Amino acid sequence: MTTTPQDLRTFLDRKVDEYNRPSFIASDPISIPRAFTKQADIEISGFFAAIFSWGNRTTIINKSRQLMQLMDNAPHQFILQHEEKDLTKLLNFRHRTFNDTDLLYFIEFFRHHYTHYDSLEDAFLHTPDHLSGFYHYFFSLDQVPPRTYKHIATPEKNSSCKRLNMFLRWMVRDDDRGVDFGIWKRISPSQLICPLDVHVARVARRFGLMTRTQTDWQAALELTGYLITLDADDPVKYDFALFGLGVMEKF
């Protein structure tokens, strides 16, 4: 099926086209930010949906939707204008290991950030290494709960940073296909790293796109390096193909 590099590229391009379309949205966590039109609401809801994205996708979507409802389906306004008493309805929120302690810190970070900036994109521009810089900025507030550090990945700990890379893909890629938003313009699609989880890694190894056995940051770089040979301007579009093959088709 994929005997030459050109055969492989043709096959993966076909799979990108198959999955990178609006019908993909309803069953994917990107459906959460797709419910909003205001940019800050898209950013905040998308960030939570991405951070919650491990495990069953239906549960991820339901818990993300529940949180948006708790914030009156206006997360930016809620974060900037809430009073202390408004936070009580967020207590006891849970999604797997993410709890209300983590949520309250996330909200405090967002309030701090959006008081100074209009877009969350600025949070990823503190250093040339977008993810490491974001990690240190995110945890720069006073009195960070020790348990909350585990919810934000960083290359410095050799994490694949799958969820943050997925969020960046949503915000940065702009191909007019109706899935990714493309609302951030200061980070280029060519700078993105492919979101790497066990499903994508399994497919990538089967195709020989990477050799590393660990599913970590170095593996994400290796995979992205190969994808750049297929499309240097937009390597992460192949996330659609690899994810679709791994999750939808159980390849």
Q: Encode pLDDT of 24-42 as tens digits.
A: 999 999 999 999 999 999 9
Q: How far is CA 211 from CA 157, 183, 219, 243, in A?
A: 20, 34, 8, 18
| CA–CA gap between residue 217 and residue 135 (Å, rounded) | 15
The rounded distance, in Å, linking the Cα atoms of 192 and 100 is 31
The predicted pLDDT at position 3 comes to 60
Beta bridge partner(s), residue 98: 95
Q: Does the structure show a pLDDT above 50 at 1?
A: no
Residue 166 covered by a domain: no
Cα separation, 244 vs 93, in Å, equals: 31
In a domain, 22, yes or no: no
Confidence category of residue 114, pLDDT binned at 50, 70, 90: very high
> Per the domain annotation, does 127 fall within a domain?
yes
Would you give the end-to-end CA distance of the chain in angstroms?
13
Question: For residue range 3-18, what is the model confidence (pLDDT) as tens digits?
Answer: 688 999 999 999 999 9
| Section 168-193 average pLDDT | 97
Residue 56's pLDDT is 92
Virtual torsion, Cα 221, 225, 226, 228, nearest 10 deg: 130
Backbone phi, psi, residue 98, to 5°: -85, 125
pTM equals 0.96
C-alpha pair distances (Å), 186 with each of 111, 121, 155, 225: 22, 8, 21, 21
For the chain, give the mean pLDDT: 96
Averaged pLDDT, 218-224 = 98
Is residue 80, in this structure, part of any structural domain at all?
Answer: yes
Residue 212 pLDDT > 60:
yes
Q: Tell me if 163 is assigned to some domain.
A: no
- 101: CB partners within 8 A, 6+ apart: 145, 147, 148
Torsion of CA 243, 248, 249, 251, to 10 degrees: 40
Q: For residue 2, is pLDDT > 50?
A: no
Q: Which distant-in-sequence residues (6+ apart) come within 8 Å of 18 by Cβ? A: 241, 244
The two structure tokens encoding residue 64: 């993300």
Owning domain of residue 43: 32-152
Per the domain annotation, does 159 fall within a domain?
no
The encoded tokens of residue 128 equal 């040339």
d(CA 184, CA 172): 5
* 188 within some domain: no
Q: H-type helices in the chain, by residue range?
A: 5-19, 39-51, 57-70, 75-81, 100-116, 130-138, 162-172, 198-206, 217-230, 238-243
How many domains in the chain? 1
Task: Tell me whether residue 184 is in a domain.
Answer: no
State how far the Cα of 173 lies from the Cα of 29, in Å rounded to an integer: 16
